[in-house]
Amino acid sequence: MANTTELLSFVQEKVLEMEKEADQEGDLSSDPQLCNDLELCDEAMALLDEVIMCTFQQSVYYLTKTLYSTLPALLDSNPFTAGAELPGPGAELGAMPPGLRPTLGVFQAALELTSQCELHPDLVSQTFGYLFFFSNASLLNSLMERGQGRPFYQWSRAVQIRTNLDLVLDWLQGAGLGDIATEFFRKLSMAVNLLCVPRTSLLKASWSSLRTDHPTLTPAQLHHLLSHYQLGPGRGPPAAWDPPPAEREAVDTGDIFESFSSHPPLILPLGSSRLRLTGPVTDDALHRELRRLRRLLWDLEQQELPANYRHGPPVATSP
């Protein structure tokens, strides 16, 4: 994905130069060769675009597949283990609570890989934006599902989840991903904040005030959280939590789960290629790799030929 992005940027820059030169010289249609070159460039850019899209999709597929098995610990694990102190901002992965390490390990491995491959910064941001989008939707959907039919929405559990989420966001802030994480975890964060409100304060709140204080939650999601909140044995939700008639339809017909199909689109970076593909290659290591690759291709080609058609290996040339 990183290499193809560089190639696409290079071709885009060359096409712009060719079009600018053609505009200066006059009618583009009067130069058949240039028209043919531009057409070939368009085909090449479409192919490179497809490669980037496919590679991105496969990359996030396997990363989210791994995250799917690690994320539930953010809702289930207790960060307040006996005798342990909560890590501060900038803590190493090994200092984090055990329940958070697998998820953060996926983020760390992905960040290291994008750095090693020198992936374009725009694609790094979008890759993690997708991972955080998936994590938010997966955790929120699990939170909504866990509250149906069993005592899950209660202050003590919410404080544990809030602490886990804060530790994750602090770690991501230290990794340089704080702004992206805060944006995509906003809805989960707001749902957990609601559950963290002390029971006495929550009982004094009205539907309208709760809607104002938690704007990212849909009416259906807010009503679901409130209607399943654990107020104690035999106690039901107060009348002040009932939605008004104007929002009753949105509550009754709205989906409490987040859709995974509403992810942000992938926007390819334009221009700003970092590799100078037209400049001289002075790296001896690259020339050695090219010679090795040429020998490999020659060997494969010779294996397909009859013995009497085979000839000696290609002559190595100096850089």
Q: What is the pLDDT of residues 123-146, one digit of tens each?
A: 999 999 999 999 999 999 999 999
CB-based contact 258:216 (threshold 8 Å): no
User: Exposed (0-12), middle (13-18) or buried (19+): which is 231, by Cβ within 10 Å?
Assistant: middle
CB-based contact 130:264 (threshold 8 Å): yes
CA atoms of 2 and 122, how far apart (whole Å): 11
What tokens were used for 316?
């190595």
CB-based contact 39:15 (threshold 8 Å): no
Examine residue 92 and state whether it is found in any structural domain, yes or no: yes
Write out residues in the chain with pLDDT < 50, as ranges.
none
pLDDT of residue 281: 66
Examine residue 74 and state whether it is found in any structural domain, yes or no: yes
* Count of structural domains within the chain: 1
Examine residue 226 and state whether it is found in any structural domain, yes or no: yes
Q: Any idea which residue has 């939605």 for tokens?
A: 243
Residues 182-241: pLDDT tens digits?
999 999 999 999 999 999 999 999 999 999 999 999 999 999 999 999 988 878 899 999
Examine residue 96 and state whether it is found in any structural domain, yes or no: yes
Examine residue 183 and state whether it is found in any structural domain, yes or no: yes
What's the distance, Cα to Cα, between the start and end of the chain in Å?
28
Examine residue 288 and state whether it is found in any structural domain, yes or no: no
CA atoms of 170 and 176, how far apart (whole Å): 10
Residue numbers of the domain that contains 103: 64-79+88-253
Examine residue 214 and state whether it is found in any structural domain, yes or no: yes
pLDDT of residue 55: 95
CA atoms of 69 and 105, how far apart (whole Å): 13
Examine residue 137 and state whether it is found in any structural domain, yes or no: yes
